Amino acid sequence: MSGASKAEAVLEVRNLKTVFFTNSGLFRAVDDVSFSVRRGETLAIVGESGCGKSVTALSVMRLVPDPPGKIVGGEIILEGKNLLALDDEAMRKIRGNRISMIFQEPMTSLNPVMRIGDQITEALRLHQDISGKDAWKQAVDMLRLVRIPEPERRAQEYPHQLSGGMRQRAMIAMALACRPTLLIADEPTTALDVTIQAQILALMVDLQKKLGTGLILITHDLGVVAQTAQRVIVMYAGRKVEEASVEALFENPLHPYTRGLMASIPAVPSLDAKADARLVEIPGMVPSLTKLPTGCAFAPRCRFAVPRCREEYPPLGDFGGRHLAACWRAGEMAEAS
């Protein structure tokens, strides 16, 4: 791992702020979020619905719908270039070429009336100066790489002729066709069955190793995080509340929200597991971004909250070995463990 950790970052996001202007007012969907991704590294972003995972990804792609959204602060440095300083034309050359994104539902990004092979060919020819014939050959090679059986025949087919798992493979083939340095996968396996999910995750991790791609994996499934990531950031109500290596996060979560999340997932039982045992629950619900409390956004649900938590937002602190947490009491948690 030490070799990988010395490798330079392909992406650095610093103090990203993305807001939305809506009927119920302005809110910060992503608030002062920083992270980096190295070559060949997987960074997982976890958190519950609405915490800003997808908007973070869309911000990096510069695909936040404007209006109502807008990136209002920060820097997004890809291979040394600040993407926020680029014009639309320059950004189009980067998207699908240096950074690609795959989504939960492949049908939203595949064109239903175009053959799979043509779609990959088009993506290739948009960014590379190659003949249609060569591009088609590369497209078939990509389908083979993502282990689609009979790639020559499948390339001739339309998206609806493929199963869900096969479509997600085709999406991955398209996303990796130009060998991007960064791949963003937003809940890539959430819509899939668990045996198919296992296939797709194994494939992604394998290809990433082979090609050295940096990967941002967005998920709400801590199991998926544990199985794939090297680093993890946990988001809550638009903020990064914890960041650590995957081992440190699972062995010693410092933020009460992360601890709550880990305790609330049911595990596949061992023999001694009781039938109807209660789960640990986080009380209350995720706050609305338009009505965030002052101080720590997690305070209304936190059993460790002290008066200070309701007054001041806790800054991110480093509790050793790049294990960051934004919590007034994280120091105590770190000591206690």
Partner 1 sequence: MSEAQPLLEVTDLVKHYPVRGGVLRRQVGTVHAVDGVSFSLAPGETLGLVGESGCGKSTVARSVLRLVEPSSGEIRLNGEAITRLSKSELRPYRRSMQIVFQDPFASLNPRMTAGDIVGEPLTVHGLASGERKQERVAELFQQVGLRPDQMKNYPHQFSGGQRQRICIARALSLGPSLIVCDEPVSALDVSIQAQVINLLIDLQRQRNFSYLFIAHDLAVVAHISHRVAVMYLGRIVEISDKAELFANPRHPYTQALLASVPVANPRIRRLTPLVEGDVPSPINPPSGCAFHTRCRYAMDRCKLERPPLVEASAGHQVACWLNDGTGRANTNP
Ligand X SMILES: Nc1ncnc2c1ncn2[C@@H]1O[C@H](COP(=O)(O)OP(=O)(O)OP(=O)(O)O)[C@@H](O)[C@H]1O
Residues of the shown chain interacting with ligand SF4 in the complex, contacts defined by CB under 6 A: 255-256, 296, 298-299, 302, 304-305, 309, 314, 327-329
Pick the binder of ligand X from 32, 50, 130, 196 (CB under 6 A): 50
Tokens of 179: 């060998």
53 binds ligand X (CB under 6 A): yes
CB of 213 to partner 1, least distance (A): 17
Decide if 293 contacts 299 (C-beta within 8 A): yes
Q: Which does 282 bind (CB under 5 to 8 A by kind): Mg ion, ligand SF4, partner 1, none?
A: partner 1
Rounded Cα distance between 253 and 160, Å, is 43
29 binds ligand X (CB under 6 A): yes
Q: Alpha helix locations (H) across the chain?
A: 2-6, 53-61, 88-94, 116-127, 132-145, 151-155, 164-176, 194-211, 222-228, 246-251, 256-264, 330-336
Q: Which does 103 bind (CB under 5 to 8 A by kind): partner 1, ligand X, ligand SF4, none?
A: none
Place of tokens 């440095």: 77
**Contacts to partner 1 by CB under 8 A:** 48-49, 163-166, 193-199, 201-202, 205, 220-229, 246-247, 250, 260-262, 264-273, 275-283, 285-286
49 binds ligand X (CB under 6 A): yes
CB of 290 to ligand X, least distance (A): 8
> What phi, psi does 5 have (nearest 5°)?
-75, -20
Pick the binder of ligand X from 220, 221, 226, 316 (CB under 6 A): 220
Rounded Cα distance between 215 and 181, Å, is 9
Q: Which does 275 bind (CB under 5 to 8 A by kind): ligand SF4, ligand X, partner 1, none?
A: partner 1
**Contacts of ligand X in 75-94 (CB under 6 A):** none
Rounded Cα distance between 150 and 313, Å, is 56
Decide if 185 contacts 218 (C-beta within 8 A): yes
25 binds ligand X (CB under 6 A): no
By CB under 6 A, which span of 65-73, 108-116, 158-166, 169-177 interacts with ligand X?
Answer: 65-73
Q: In DSSP terms, which residues pair with 27 in a beta bridge?
A: 20
Calculate the CA dihedral of residues 198, 202, 205, 210 and round it to 10 degrees.
-160
CB of 164 to partner 1, least distance (A): 8
CB of 31 to partner 1, least distance (A): 20
